[in-house]
């Protein structure tokens, strides 16, 4: 193990070997990485309880903090924190367009990635917990998809849990992918309309950009093809606390005048590709709909199919009239695997995963209703990424769960609030609030 320092904290690298398939513990092994964080000067660190942080996603590595940033400043007051790079992400054994061909063709890749959902992540956590804590239960903090994992943890291995804290990540226990997106598109529309209410000048800017893209094939510097639909997906920014402002600043400098006329500026193209590229998190796209699959048929590109029920998101129809071009959110479509060079080699693999029907169920309502683990959850009112009604229905199922429902923050509240969200959840879980 290697230890080093940042302002106010001591960091230690951990590497763990776990089975690819936990049903075959003696079979192929993969590596997981975790970064331990302890407050500097804690001479009694060995006596501190553990908190494991599960990042959102799927397919996102644990956030890289510098010192005591955001919620971490509160967590290290009471815990040794493990920032876990879930399987396939960060410094764990990677799963990308570059590495997946080592598995073989698309079918072998799809079979491999079937082991990368919440059920496998939780079994990873249980192996790691026993190695780190000597068998003592630990606290889980789950953000977004990390909360989905925490909910599965409560269903599958509650004996490993001391406390569960969820931020913007209480999933529906029984919704299909179709149900999820049918609830999502109206929320996405509200966020887009709220953005245009805040910045009415962006209505014409967005129409002008979409019209330009419809008439001119535009390839960004990294090879990403910027279609009108890809441009609309910049609406993923609208789920964060300052995302509307980021989007506004992005749009206001889209065009530059050149000898050949007005074209999309290099600065705009560079910024857009940084927001849209899945090069750093391909599993987010490849496995996104699989996180909602529970053996009730294939997901079959649910976001794409359900979008057809909401024609107001059709950019061509908007441009043919005088209405706004609506932005979309965290929806994954087949065209992502055509426009994004980081995803193109994974198109057949993604198709096979979308057709898969044998996904196991992730949640056990009876066990959740009987749990004795203290659970607290922040539910962000009108969260663009996770349906509030779905979250509250699940909250009513989990015995003793205490919710904090707030519209002060968006989906990124646990980071944007500094220490406030985590402090509130700890107080709720401990019966102090």
Q: What is the pLDDT of residues 185-243, one digit of tens each?
A: 999 999 999 999 999 999 999 999 999 999 999 999 999 999 999 999 999 999 999 99
The dihedral over CA atoms of 82, 385, 308, 59, expressed in degrees to the nearest 10, equals: -10
User: Has residue 53 got a pLDDT over 90?
Assistant: yes
Long-range contacts of 15-23 (CB under 8 A, 24+ apart): 16/124, 16/127, 16/128, 16/131, 18/87, 18/123, 18/124, 18/127, 18/128, 20/112, 20/115, 21/115, 22/120, 22/123
Pairing type for strands 402-406 and 375-380 reads parallel
Q: 3-174+363-429 — its CATH code? A: 3.40.50.1820
Active-site residue, 358 included: yes
Query: 296: pLDDT confidence band, cut at 50, 70 and 90?
Result: confident
| E strand or H helix at 243 | helix 243-252
CA angle 57, 59, 62 (to 5 degrees): 75
Q: Given the structure tokens 């889980």, which residue do they identify? A: 140
What does the block give as tokens for 388?
């509030």
Q: 10 Å Cβ neighbour count for 227?
A: 18
Confirm whether 411 is a catalytic residue.
yes
Percent of the chain with pLDDT over 70: 99
Phi and psi, residue 379, nearest 5°: -115, 115
What whole-number distance in Å separates Cα of residue 119 and Cα of residue 306?
Answer: 27
Rounded Cα distance between 162 and 232, Å, is: 42
Q: Cα(196)–Cα(420) distance, rounded to whole angstroms?
A: 29
Whether 21 has a pLDDT exceeding 90, the answer reads yes
Annotated domain spans of the chain: 3-174+363-429, 177-355
Alpha helices in 289-346 (DSSP H): 302-307, 315-320, 336-339
pLDDT at 42: 77
Exactly one of 144, 155, 277, 417 is catalytic; name it: 144
Helical H runs in 58-200?
72-78, 106-113, 118-133, 145-156, 177-198
Q: Indicate if 383 belongs to the active site.
A: no
Distance CA 187, CA 5 (A): 43
The single residue of 212, 233, 411, 417 carrying the catalytic annotation is 411
pLDDT at 329 over 90: no
Q: Name the residue with tokens 């996104």.
A: 288
Residue 46's pLDDT is what?
A: 72
Return the structure tokens found at 149.
């994992």
Active-site residue, from 44, 46, 322, 358 = 358
Please say whether the beta carbons of 193 and 418 come within 8 A.
no
Handedness of CA 23, 27, 31, 35 (dihedral sign): positive
Strands, E assignment, 308-373? none
Q: What pLDDT is recorded for position 44?
A: 62
In tens, the pLDDT along 125-173 reads: 999 999 999 999 999 999 999 999 999 999 999 999 999 999 999 999 9
Q: What is the pLDDT of residues 384-402, one digit of tens each?
A: 999 999 999 999 999 999 9
pTM of the model: 0.96
The distance from CA 191 to its chain's CA centroid, rounded to whole angstroms, is 18
């Amino acid at each position: 193990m290697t230890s080093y320092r940042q302002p106010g904290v001591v960091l230690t690298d951990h590497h763990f070997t776990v089975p690819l398939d936990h049903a075959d513990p003696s079979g192929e092994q993969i590596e997981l990485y975790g970064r331990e964080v302890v407050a500097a000067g804690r001479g009694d660190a060995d006596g501190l309880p553990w908190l494991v942080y599960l990042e959102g996603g799927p397919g996102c590595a644990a956030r890289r903090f510098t010192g005591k940033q955001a919620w971490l400043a509160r967590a290290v007051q009471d815990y040794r924190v493990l920032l876990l790079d879930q399987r396939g992400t960060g410094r764990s054994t990677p799963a990308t367009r570059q590495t997946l061909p080592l598995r073989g063709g698309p079918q072998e890749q799809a079979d491999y990635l079937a082991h990368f959902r919440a059920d496998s992540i939780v079994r990873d956590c249980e192996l790691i917990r026993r190695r780190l804590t000597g068998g003592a239960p630990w606290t889980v903090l789950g953000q977004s998809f990390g909360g989905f994992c925490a909910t599965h943890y409560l269903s599958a291995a509650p004996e490993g849990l001391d406390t569960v804290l969820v931020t913007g990540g209480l999933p529906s226990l029984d919704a299909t992918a179709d149900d999820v997106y049918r609830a999502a598109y109206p929320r996405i529309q509200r966020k887009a309309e709220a953005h245009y209410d805040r910045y009415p000048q962006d209505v014409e800017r967005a129409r002008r950009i979409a019209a330009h893209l419809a008439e001119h094939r535009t390839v960004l510097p990294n090879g990403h093809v910027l279609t009108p639909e890809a441009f609309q997906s910049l609406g993923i920014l609208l789920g964060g606390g300052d995302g509307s402002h980021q989007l506004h600043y992005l749009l206001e400098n889209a065009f530059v005048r050149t000898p050949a006329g007005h074209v999309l500026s290099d600065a705009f193209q560079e910024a857009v590709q940084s927001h849209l590229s899945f090069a750093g998190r391909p599993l987010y796209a490849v496995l996104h709909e699989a996180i909602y699959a529970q053996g009730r048929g294939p997901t079959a590109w649910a976001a794409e199919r359900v979008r057809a029920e909401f024609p107001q998101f059709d950019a061509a129809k908007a441009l043919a009239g005088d209405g706004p071009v609506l932005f979309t959110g965290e929806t994954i479509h087949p065209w992502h695997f055509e426009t994004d060079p980081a995803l193109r080699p994974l198109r057949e693999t993604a198709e096979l995963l979308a057709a898969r029907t044998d996904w196991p169920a992730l949640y056990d309502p009876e066990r959740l209703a009987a749990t004795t683990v203290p659970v607290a959850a922040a539910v962000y009112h009108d969260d663009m990424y996770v349906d509030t009604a779905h979250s509250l229905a699940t909250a009513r199922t989990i015995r003793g769960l205490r919710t904090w429902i707030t519209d002060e923050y968006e989906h990124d509240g646990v980071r944007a609030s500094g220490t406030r969200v985590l402090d509130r959840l700890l107080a709720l879980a401990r019966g102090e609030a």
